[in-house]
Structure formats: structure tokens, C-alpha cells
Structure 1
Amino acid sequence: MRINRKFNYIIAMSIAVTGCAQQKEHSPVKWPEADAPIATVKPYQRIIHGDTVVDNYYWLNDYFKQGPDSGEVVKYLEAENAYTNAMMKGTEALQEKLFNEMKSRIKEKDESVPYLKNGYYYYSRTEEGEQYYKFCRKKGSLDAPEEVLLDVDAMAKGKPYFAANGFSVSPDNKLLAFGVDEVSRREYIIHIKNLETGEILPDRIMRTSGSATWAADNRTIFYTSKNPITLLSEKIKRHTLGTAEGQDVVVYDEKDNTNYIGVGKSKNGKYIFIQSQSTMSAEVRYLKADDPNGEFQVFQPRMKDVLYSVVPLEDRFLIVTNADNAQNFKVVETPLDKTGKENWKNFIPHRQDVLVQDIDEFKDFLVVSERKNGLTNLSIRQLKDNVVHDLDFGEAAYTVYPSINAEYDTDVVRYGYTSMVTPSSTFDYNMHSREKTLLKQQEVLGGYDAEKYVTERAFATATDGTKVPISLVYKKGTKKDGSAPLYLYAYGSYGSSMEPTFSSSRLSLLDRGFIYAIAHIRGGEEMGRQWYEDGKLMKKKNTFTDFIDCGQYLIDQKYTSKGHLYAEGGSAGGLLMGAVINMAPDMWNGVIAAVPFVDVVNTMLDETIPLTTNEYDEWGNPNNKDAYDYMKSYSPYENIEAKEYPNLLVTTGLHDSQVQYFEPAKWVAKLRATKKGNNVVLLKTDMDFGHGGASGRFDYLKDQALEWAFILKLEGITQ
């Protein structure tokens, strides 16, 4: 619900200051004269566990609930947008400049690295001036004629939002299944295209996750069906080409509304898997791909507090699992005909200092994605003799990950590499010869020179003594005397690790004297599974205190000072922002909360809100008093007080399915009515989009330009 991985709200920024040796002071910020909207007060009582809470802005959910005040909600959001525009009017030229310079670094006419699958090389390419892309292939050789499978630029013409995903080509290479979302609620219609004739078949599969999995017969697909109200992924269905709408067969119906489900095919093409998983347990079903009308078999019935996932090899299954108290996960093996846990045997034992994140199978090799001491790693294992070697990288903070590896019978693994100063790079690595080949590095137009920037890794000491990693990047010559403005980002939920990656857009802040830092706080999984366990449920406050302690460390070490410290988080990271400004409001000069999950108690009490029940294992179920009391003690909306808050820019989307628009709207209304002082609170609602923002490859830069202009204005930077 609150996670958005596109949301590489790793909009990283950096340390760069050319200032004097003394800490500079801000001139008072001059804001235009404009009257902030005042939301109507309509008291609503919430009574649970003997606790009565009056919510004056509960009515703002009426657009979502289709209630009587729906029209008034839209008027209020439009008034907030008008106010934000008025307050930011003096930055319009700066926003335009920021947009243009960020856009100018992007190579408009570009092409992804082609990958081979089933005899064809697949790639996407972009053209100058176009917002989207074309999905293409060539048969057998990169010198072969190009086939444009989908012209997404043409498909998106005239649409405020357009997303196409889940591209899946049939085993005979003749049909393409793909999903389309034109509303930005992650509810896709699956279409089928005949690649020989160019015809879009009459088959239209509604309310799906967007992806389809082909059986071996080239006429059957399996897909995930969503509940139209909660958007929960609750059924796996089978569709045979030509079947009328609504007549598809349910092959799996998930009865536990705390689980997410999905369907996919093994790399070797032999099996179709259904994965059902909550935060704390999992269950897999499998079927031979050449028996699409058969019954899915349970691999191992779900077990309390046991997660597992499965990949098949030629002679056995491998399972990544935390069974038997393997907190950082291990890899076990079992025969193809004996899949129950009683047959599982250790293949890669559990290690206290290494988190096993995933495995990528090949005919003769296994590539294990691991994490140690907060850094990612790829470990190569030869299956025949179990010889293991690791790839070596050489930077203080970096990210490495398997790229698209669609072929099973190959000795080459493709991986991606990036750091806060190294643009995204794609390599092929021969697992036999141990030679690596750079295929492509993201081209940054305008003369980017990595030697002009420095990346560091530091450790802050948290309140309880825990060492929390921080990744930093800044321009050479920056003085650590407290004068540099610093932009601190974090997420801290769902075990989602915020990686130190490159961003060409970030250069617009680095070159204006900013340090950019990522706080790898608990709630993520940077330091292993325990890092996640210590930042969820009844330990959630560790996430917030870690972030505050990271901010204090950066001040103490003179990377910055209180008057120059800024923070951003999005989605569940927006909850982090709401919590830390309640707990330490005077630490931050400005804060950006993007699509923030800030009304925790009310949302987790409402099972009609998309994905709420999936997340009881993350936040707790407030129908239980202990969880309610703890959640209420940190929920940003519940803990607003009459005190001075930092300057705040809040963004949301009217069609957001992950964090509904009314959470930030209510939060802003209550903050403005309660807070003291003259610091501004701005709310920007995108009336066309949802959780991930604009869909075009340049439109999102306008949102970034607004956010950064807000921070630059606070810092007194006008150019």
C-alpha cells in the first residue's frame, strides 16, 4: 500500500559547498501574500477500545467514498493547488531552469541493451521529443530487421496518464500479452496482440495486475485478478484465447486477505508457479507448463512465520527460505517429486552476517544476490562442483543487481551496477572465464565528470547504540564546517532497502552546493533481516528515532547545521516525515512529504481502503488494543500539536491507490489549523495521476523541479 518501488524517491542529493568557513545564516524567506485555504470542520467521532477521537476532517475522504461531500473535496484540493501555485509563483523561472537542465542531461534518442529470449533480441528505444518508448525485437541477430511490437508513444497520445507493462511473448513468438492502465490506480486491462498480423485480438481481460503468464500451448494465459474495491490481488485465473469476457476459470482463490498473490513461469519454461505471500508466511503452488488445464499442486503448505520461494533446476528444486530460524534466509534443495519441507536439505546454509535476497538460476550456475554489512553482492556458484566466487567492486557505497537474464542455458549473467557517482551501467559477466564486459553506461549529456564528486559511507549511533549507515555524495571542495545545505532521504519500511544509486537529476542540487545523504534506517533490510524486524510493528519507532539520530550525526560532524538540513520521504517514507516533524520539529528547515501515509490508525481500521488488510503484519491490526495504542502514539495525524513545524511541501495524487489522497489532505488541514509560527504548509494534488506521479519520461521532472525549487527558496538560492 505505502510502497512504491518506481518511486525511486531516491531522488538523491549531495554535499557541495563553496561557502565560507563560518556557518551562514538565512535571510528571512519572503513569501507572496496569499490566504491559505481553511478546510471546513465537520466533527466525526471514532470510538474503539474505549477511546474516543474527534476527527474534524474525516469528510475529506468523500471523493474516494463517493459520499455527499465529493464535490466539496475536489474544490478544496483545487484551492490548495491554487494556494501552492501562488506561494511558489516567485520560483517559476527557477522551476523552468531546473526542468530544462535536468531534461538536458537525458539522452532523448536512446536504446536499452538488447536481451536474448527464445531466439529474439528484445529492447526498447526512445525518440527525441517523445515521452514514452517503442518496444521492439530482432530475430536471431542484432543486424536483423526491427519489429516494433508496441509503439507506446502512439498508444499514449492524448492521454493524461498511460502505463503499459507486463509484456509477455508466447512460447512460439507469435503473440504478445500486455497490460494497460490509463487511470494510475495500478488496475490493468490485459490485451493480446498477434505479432504476425499486427491485430489486437478481441480478448480484453479487466481488473488485473497487468502481467500474463503463457502456458506451453500458446493459447492459455494465467493472470492475477484484482478486487474492484480493495484492489487486492485475490484470484489467479486461466484465460483461453477466444473466451468471452467474464468466463475465465478461477484456478486459485486466496481466502486470506492479508496475502498478496501472483503467478509466473520458471526460467527453464517447465513450470508455472502461484505465489501467495504475506509479510510473515508464504505458500507456493506449481503446475507443469505443458498441462495448462491440470490442477496446481501445493509445494509446501503455508507455515507460521515461514517464507519461501522456489526455482527449478534440471534435477531438483531450490528454495530460498527462513525456515528453522534462518532469519537471514538460506537456500535448500529438494527432489522434483518430493517437495514437502521434510525433504528439504541445506544447499547454502544460513549465515548470521549475510542476507540471501534472491537466486537466479542457470543450467550450470547459480547467482546468489546477497547483502553483507549493508552492501549488495553477487555470488557465483558452479552447480557441478559447488565452486564459489564473488564479484568485486571497489567503491565505498554502491548497488549491484542481476539485470534481465531470460536465457537458462548460458554461461553469461547480466548485471547492473551503479553508485552515487557512477551512472547506471550494464555488464555481461562470463561465469566460466570470469571476464566482464561493459555493454552500456547511462550517458549523461552536458559533460558529467565523476571525478568532480565524492561518495562516502558513514555510521551514526542511534539512541540505543545501533550503528546506522549513511550514504553521502557531494562535490569535491565541499567544506564540512556546517555551512553546506544537506538533503537527507530515507524510507524505512517493508524491508525495502534504499540503495546508493546515481541520479542525473540530483546534479542540479549538488552543483548548487547541496550534500545528498541516504539514511539506511531500520525498517529496511540493508543490514539483514533483523534490521527489518527491528523497524516494524511494535518496534516501528526505531525507524523514526534512527532518522533523527542520523540528522543529528550529520549536524555534529559538521556536514550541515540545523538551519540548512532538509528531509524527504515518500509513501511510507512520508509517514517517516510526519513522525519526525512531530518528534523533532526544530531540526529541519524544510521537509518534503511525497504521497505520505500519515493517517495510519484510520486507514488501518478501514478494510475497504485498497491493500489495508495485506499490511497487518507490517503495522499491526488496530482492532487489537495493543496495536491500536502503539500506532496511535506515532501516527502523524493523531499527534499534531500546537507548536512550530518546519516548512512543509506535501504532494499527492487524486487517483492514488496506494496512499489515498485524503491522508495528506487531512494532515495538511489539521496542521494548518493547529500549528504555531509562520512557516508554510503547501499541498500539491495531481488531479490526473496516482501514486507514482506522471507517466511520461519527462513530466516527472516538473514535479522534481517544484520540490527542489521549494528547498532552494528556503536555502536562499535563486539561480
Structure 2
Amino acid sequence: MRNIRLQPPLPRAESRIRVFHDDVTIDSYRWFRDRENPDVGAYLEAENSYTEQATAHLSALKAEIIAEIEGRQPREYTSPALQVGPFEYFQRREPNLAHPAWWRRPVTGGSEEQVLDPNAIPGAEVFYSLGVFEPCDDGRYVAFSFDVIGNENYELRVRDMKTGQEVWQGSKKVAMVAWAADGNTLFFTSERPSRQQCQELVRLNIATGISEVVFEESNEQLKVQVRRSDSGAWLFLDVTAFSGHSSFPAHFGAEEVWCLPADEPGGNWRRIVKRGNGHEIYAEHWGDSFLFRVNDAGPYCRLVCAPIDDPSPSSWEEVIPHREGATLEEVHIFEKHLVVLEREGLRPRLVARDRSGRVGTTIDPEESSCTLKVGSSAGGTHSVPRHLFRSSKLVYSISSFVTPDTFVEHDLADDRSVTLCRAHIPGFDPALYVSQVVMVEADDGVEIPISLVTRRDRANPGPVVLRVYGCYGSPRSPSFKDWPSFMTGRLSLLDRGVAFGWAHIRGGGELGRPSHEAAMAERKRTTHTDLIAAAEGLVKQGFATRDGIAIEGASAGGGVVLATAALRPDLFRAVIAEVPLADILDTEMDAAMPWGLWERAEYGNPHIANEYRYLLSYDPYYNLSADRPLPPTYVDAALDDGQVLYYQPARYVAQRRSCAADRDPKLVFRTRMVGGHSGASHGPGVAEERAFRMAWALDQLRTIK
């Protein structure tokens, strides 16, 4: 029986008045930033205790869902081996160990040897996240990085496989790495220790242990990436604008590009694309030319080539023209084939061309909404998928709400495919579920797609959990994933009669650059009105009941659902905000905040008066009031989160409680004391976090059976 006298905690308020652009704001909980203050820890623990007591009636349901999630865990890893030089690298899990170890074997046959055992890293028993795993060409050295806190400060190490010893370890804020062709020189990007958001490229000589900075980016709104061309012949340095990710997609466009022959690691980098032209460019190498995917002819991009000695725009020759509505997302180079990943609407496809430009293989998935990826990856936060250059065999993976991750090898020479491996989800029968795309109309007449999955025997209308992101032009496509999984947990919702949908609202990147630009800066509220239109559209079309929609978002998406719920609290039965960006205005005003400067292109610059006022109009933290009751809401945070700092959600919760006479008892807040932005890395916490959110949502939707 619930304790109706249970009262949520309320920390003390320390009012801080700010006058900016002749506007007055009062912040009562800025003091939460002081992590060493014992009152901060006491408040977080009090909220955890309140949530535990307020949801005690869900313990049986949560245990039931945990058992379901753990029962669906694949027994074997499904990713194919990575071939680098003379070795194949693969993972193997041993019984009773938290993390799979990396092993390798010669491609020509021979004995296996262990490369890296994360279980031996101090701290990995509590939390572990892989940053990169990159062998050099001949396999003598392997570079790897890891985080055992959850703050995404990845420590880089280099192991000598001849001795089994680590011959270098250093920087703890390393992102991408790339080996030169000599197998002795490693380039890596990192944040400059003196200034958090300044980027640098470091060259490390493994033999001497000498490292030196070879490139510094002083513009704090830009990031630096390093990568090696598919051919292996060139190294590219990309200077990019913010993309909304802790790691940057391998094919994200750059404002400036530098190159260096991979066999001349001590040489000078040459700039081949200058910044300031207003374009985003992704460079690759093929034969005697550089290829550039560029948005100069339109937002969906075209592909051009130019001589290596003269890559200036005056020398560009068109390879693939710009096509309205068909986004050219990725470019992959094989010795005799060019493969591009295109997306038209939500539907992706792979198209291969030979050196003459003739289109050969086209891989067009049957599912209308799915995830299609090229190559194999080590799976680290900053890992780049790879494929064999001197081969005609294209490896790709496909996944959706109803299709577990499946890896396929397609021979471009004879146009034949073979399935390499498929994730086996115990107890999952895809025939029981149906996935579809539902189109709804936004306020301005633009059609918004929703990827929706339900049990085939579900009766409409019914309850729906609707997830969104809608920021930074970052695409979010339906994906199953093996473990920890996106869908293996949500099957417990579907099996209880709840539909699950992903609303592809503007601000995201699923529908190309125009869809993103339609909800940036002074148009950002389009993201929120699109979500409202998506929910209302599901009701009108008979998929959802009027009082049966819960909205869900994480990180920036968490900020979206909080802001949207404030606009239409009557429309949503519940709100799930995971590690939400709940104080957008303060984040953009503070250059020391993670992503603060980089995000201004997305949200606007609050130091400009009109942009400040617009941002303030929807900021979740500053739009709380006693006369605006909000739906029941779940919020969480992570103490060591490196993206959304723990006090950002905590301030929102405290302010919301202070605005309500009864402290808003239907608002629950949990702070993870272990792990980071994405939650627990392993162990019981993985299933428990997902099961708790689903049990809470089911309780709000009143579909418990």
C-alpha cells in the first residue's frame, strides 16, 4: 500500500539574481555545482531514497522485466572479426568475467593470442567503456583507450605485441587515433589540458616515446578529427563544427581538411580545403584523385573528384550530382569500387560504382525504416568502421525494430551476398511484431514520419511510448542492437500492449540537412511543435488513446520532451527524461560547460539579445511556475556524466519541486552514482536501469497485467 504521507525532498534555495539584456532571472540552485558540498550529495541521496519509496509498489513488475531483459541477452557476440594487416581481431567472453577480451589470429591460420583483457584494467570491474582499439598495419603495436569513470575522458595506451607490455601511456582526454604506414608513428587528437575545449593533434613516436603537438585549433567552437583514408595511403585531419555527439561520425563534413601521405609521418601537413567557404566537406582518396563529398550545390550533397596535386574547387569534376531529397551520407572506397550510402526519406540504400562510373550493385533494404552501416567496428566510442581496401567484398550490417543486427558480406564483383552472422535473441519471434512508418502533419503542413512498432495482436488504439531526439542534425534510425540493447528491453513494453515509436521530428538528421535547419536557433521550437503534432497525429489516426501517450528522450532529447511537456501538459500522460539537457540557457551562456560553445549554432547565442529571449522562452528550467502543473515525470542523472553534468537535471527537479505546493510528488528523480551518460556498462545495473523506466512508464499508462 502506498504511503500517501511520503513527501519529496526540497533542498535549500540560495537565490542568485542575474540581470542580462535588461531581463531578470533568479537561480536558486546554482550552488548544486559544488560537488564537494556535502549538502549536494545529501540531496541526491534523498531524491534516490524518495524515488525508491515512491515506486516500491513496482518492485515485482521491475523484477519481472529484469528477468525478461536478461533472458533475451545473446549468448555469443555477433560482430565479425576485424582484419588489419596479417591478423584478424575478435572478442571472446569468458564465463564470470564482466567484459569480453580482445584476441587475434593470423589470417593465414595459426594459434590465437590475447591482445587486451579489459577485466585486468583497475576500475573496470565498476565501469568500463572502450574509446578506440586500433592495431598498426603489421600488428606489432595496438593502441587502445578506455574510460573507467564514465566521464568520457579516455586514457590512451599502446601495447607492444612482441613483448606483451604497454610501451606508452599518457593523455586522458584522447578521442580519435590513426596509425601512419610505418607502424611506429601514431597520431591522436585530444583536448588541450590548459583549456578544456581547445583541440590538438599529437604525433607520437613509439620507438622513442617522444610526442609533439603538430596542430592546434584555437577556435573553441570547432573540433579536430584524424583518420586514415580507406586506401591507407593518406592521413586526413578534419576541422569540424559541432555534431551533437561525444564522438563524431566518421563521415561528418568538415570546414577545413588537411592531408599527409601515410608513409611520410614526419612530413608537413598540407591544407587541401580552406575554412570560410561556407561548405562542409568530407575527403577521401581513390587512385590519383581526392574525392570530396560537398554541399556546395545543395544540402543533400554531391561527390566530386580532383587531382591530388590540385584539389582546389576550380579543378573539381562531378562524380555524383546533387539530387533533391536524396542525402549522400557516406562514401566508402575500395580498390576497384566506390560505394555510397544514400538516404531518401527514412529509407537507406547502398550503391556501388566501378572506376568508369557505371552503377553495379544496389542494396535497397525492404524495410521502410532501418539502420544500415558499412564496415566492421571495434565498437568504441571513437572507433571508425573499416573494410578491406584491396577486396571486392563489402561488409555491411542491417538492423531495425524487428530485425536483430545482421552482418552481410556482398561480393561486388559477382553481385552475391552471404550472411556472416546474425544476433540471436533468445525468445524473440519477429513474426509477433509489426513495424511501419506513420505520417503525420505538422502545423505548417510538413509531413513528419514516425517509425512505429507494435505487437501484431495489439488492439488499436492503445498506449504509446514516443521517443525523440530532434537535435544537432543527428539521425536516429530504428535499430535493434544486441547488448546492452535498445529493443531487447522495449519488447517488454510491446508484450504488454504498449506501442513504441520514434518521431523523426525536425531538428534531427533523418530527413537531411533542410530538416535540421528548419529547427535551429530562432526556429528551435519547431522541434517541440513537431512532437506535439506527432502525438496528436497518432491519436487522430487511431494508434494512440488521447490520455495514453508517454514521451521519452535522452540528453538533448530529454530537454526536448521537458520543453514540449511545458507547452502541452494536457497531451501527455507521462514524460521520461534521461540525463536531460534541462538548463539550455545556462549551458549556452557558460563557455566552461561541456558542449556549451559548440551548441550555439543549434540553440542560438544568448549573448545576442533576441536570441537570448527566444532561448529563454522555452528553456525547461526557467519556464517552471506554480500555475503550470506538468505531467508525471521521470528524470535521471549520472554523477560522473561528462556530457550533461549531474547538477543540470538536479537543478530542474529542485526548481520544479519548489514551484509546486505539494513538491510535485509524481516527479521522480534518480542519480546514478556509478557510470556516465549512457548508464551502467555491465552487470545487473544494465537491465535494472531499463526495467525501472519501463515499469514506471507502465504504471503511468496503467497497463500493468
| TM-score range for the pair, normalised by the shorter chain length | over 0.9
Other-structure match for 2:246: none
Give the letter for the 1:423 counterpart.
P
1:605 aligns with 2:578: no
1:34 counterpart SS class = coil
CA contact under 8 A between 1:207 and 1:228: conserved in structure 2?
no
Corresponding position of 1:651: 636
2:152 aligns with 186
Could you tell me how far 1:469 is from its partner in structure 2? 0.2
Equivalent AA in structure 1 for residue 178 of structure 2 = T
CA displacement at 1:562 relative to structure 2: 3.0
Letter of the structure 1 residue corresponding to residue 219 of structure 2:
D
The answer on whether the counterparts of 1:32 and 1:86 sit within 8 Å (CA) in structure 2 is: no
> 1:646-704 CA deviation, whole Å, 9 max, x = no partner?
11110111111111111111111111121467651111111222212112265322110
Deviates more, 1:551-560 or 1:273-282: 273-282
Deviations 1:214-252 (A, max 9, x none): 1222222111121447642511111112556xx621110
Displacement after TM superposition at 1:258 (Å) = 0.5
- Measured against aligned partners, the alpha-carbon deviations of 1:412-437 in whole angstroms (never above 9, x if no partner) come to 11111122111111101111221111
Pair 385,621 (structure 1): closer, same or farther in 2 beyond 3 Å = closer
Please name the residue that 1:7 is paired with: none
Would you say 1:485 and 2:451 are equivalent positions?
no
Q: Give the AA of the match of 1:272.
A: L
Q: 2:282 aligns with which of 309, 320, 337?
A: 309
Compared with structure 1, are the counterparts of its residues 206 and 234 closer, same or farther at alpha carbon in structure 2 (3 Å cutoff)?
same
1:262 alignment partner AA:
Q
Partner of 1:104: 71
Structure 1 letter corresponding to 2:413: H
> 1:220 aligned to 176, 185, 199, which one?
185
Deviates further, 215-224 or 491-500:
215-224
Structure 2 match to 1:456: 436
- What is the distance in 2 between the residues matched to 1:233 and 1:113? 36
Separation in 2, partners of 1:157, 1:49: 47
* CA distance in structure 2 between the aligned counterparts of 1:168 and 1:430, rounded to whole angstroms: 26
Other-structure match for 1:691: 677
Decide whether aligned partners of structure 1 residues 419 and 36 sit closer, same or farther in structure 2, where only a CA change above 3 A counts.
same
For structure 1, which segment, 271-280 or 372-381, has the greater mean C-alpha deviation from structure 2 after superposition? 271-280
Are residue 445 (structure 1) and residue 426 (structure 2) matched?
A: yes
Following superposition of structure 1 onto structure 2, how do residues 70-89 of structure 1 map, counting pairs within 5 Å? 70-89=37-56
Shift of 1:159: 3.6
Choose from 692, 712, 717 the match for 2:698.
712
Residues 229, 610 of structure 1: 8 Å contact kept: no
Counterpart of 2:204 in structure 1 is: 239
Give the distance between the partners of 2:225 and 2:597, measured in 1 at CA. 17
1:138 alignment partner in structure 2 = 105
Q: Secondary structure at the match of 1:457?
A: strand
1:700 aligned onto 2:680: no
- Matching residue of 2:380: none
Q: Is 2:551 the partner of 1:571?
A: no
Contact 1:455 1:473 in 2 (8 A): yes
Letter in 2 for 1:253: E
Q: How many angstroms apart in 1 are the aligned matches of 2:198 and 2:642?
A: 13
Q: What TM-score comes out, normalization by structure 1 length?
A: 0.91
Q: Structure 1: how far apart are the matches of 2:330 and 2:175? A: 23
Report the Cα distance in structure 2 between the residues aligned to 1:128 and 1:453, rounded to whole angstroms. Answer: 33
Q: CA deviation at 1:281?
A: 5.8
* Residue 496, structure 1, aligned to residue 467, structure 2: no
The structure showing larger relative contact order (alpha-carbon pairs under 8 Å, at least 6 residues apart) is: 1
Larger deviation, residues 121-130 vs 305-314: 121-130
Alpha-carbon distance between aligned partners in 1 of 2:335 and 2:568, rounded to the nearest angstrom: 54
Kindly indicate whether the alpha-carbon contact (under 8 Å) linking 1:209 and 1:233 is maintained by their aligned counterparts in 2. Answer: no
Partner Cα separation in structure 2 for residue 81 and residue 113 of structure 1: 41
Partner of 1:373: 345
Match of 1:588 among 564, 567, 572: 572
- Unmatched 5+ residue regions in structure 1? 1-28
Take 1:32 and 1:523, find their aligned partners in 2: how far apart are those partners? Answer: 41
1:460–1:182 CA distance, 2 compared to 1 (3 A): same
1:543 maps onto 2:534 in alignment? no
The answer as to whether partners of 2:371 and 2:479 remain within 8 angstroms in 1 is yes
Alignment of 1:274-673 (within 5 A): 274-279=237-242, 282-323=255-296, 325-404=297-376, 405-446=386-427, 448-480=428-460, 482=461, 484-502=462-480, 503-642=487-626, 643-673=628-658
Counterpart of 2:211, as a letter, is D
CA distance in 1, matches of 2:648, 2:526: 23
Q: Deviations over 1:297-343 (max 9, x none)?
A: 111211242110111011101011112x4211111101011122222
TM superposition shift of 1:401: 1.9
Query: Aligned letter for 1:711?
Result: A
Runs of 4+ in structure 1 off by over 6 angstroms are: none
Q: Distance in 1 between matches of 2:347 and 2:267?
A: 43
In structure 1, C-alpha distance between the alignment counterparts of 2:264 and 2:656, rounded to whole Å: 58
- In 1, are the aligned partners of 2:84 and 2:139 still within 8 Å (CA)? no
SS of corresponding position for 1:81: helix
Distance in 1, matches of 2:518 and 2:660, equals 32
User: What residue identity is the alignment partner of 2:183?
Assistant: N
* Identical columns (%): 29
| Deviation, structure 1 residue 167 | 0.8
Indicate conservation of the 8 Å contact 1:375/1:526, yes or no. Answer: no
Gaps of 5+ in 2: 243-252, 377-385, 481-486
* C-alpha contact (below 8 Å) 1:494/1:523 kept by paired residues: yes
Counterpart amino acid of 2:64?
K
Say how many residue pairs are matched: 678
3-state SS in 2 of match to 1:328: coil
In the alignment, the residues of structure 1 paired with residue 529 and residue 6 of structure 2 have an alpha-carbon distance, to the nearest angstrom, of 35
Query: Is this contact kept in 2: 1:176–1:192, CA < 8 A?
Result: yes
Q: Which amino acid aligns with 1:532?
A: H
Alpha-carbon separation, structure 2, partners of 1:563 and 1:479: 16
When residues 432 and 676 of structure 1 are mapped into structure 2, their CA distance, relative to the original with a 3 A threshold, is farther
Q: Structure 1 stretch 143-152 or stretch 328-337: which is displaced more?
A: 143-152
* Cα deviation 1:612-657 (Å, max 9, x = unaligned): 1122212121111121111111111111122221111101111111
The aligned residue for residue 483 of structure 2 is none
Distance 1:449 1:158, change over 3 A: closer
Which whole-Å CA distance do the structure 2 matches of 1:229 and 1:620 have between them?
26
Question: 1:139, CA displacement in angstroms?
Answer: 0.3
TM normalised by structure 2 equals 0.93
| C-alpha spacing 1:211/1:468, structure 2 compared with 1 (3 Å) | same
Name the SS for the 1:613 alignment partner.
coil
Question: Once the 2 structures are TM-superposed, how far is the Cα of residue 126 of structure 1 from its aligned partner?
Answer: 2.4
Q: Secondary structure at the match of 2:488?
A: coil
In structure 1, the partner of 2:23 is 51
Q: Is the 8 A contact 1:111 1:126 kept in 2?
A: no
Pair 1:169 & 2:169 matched: no
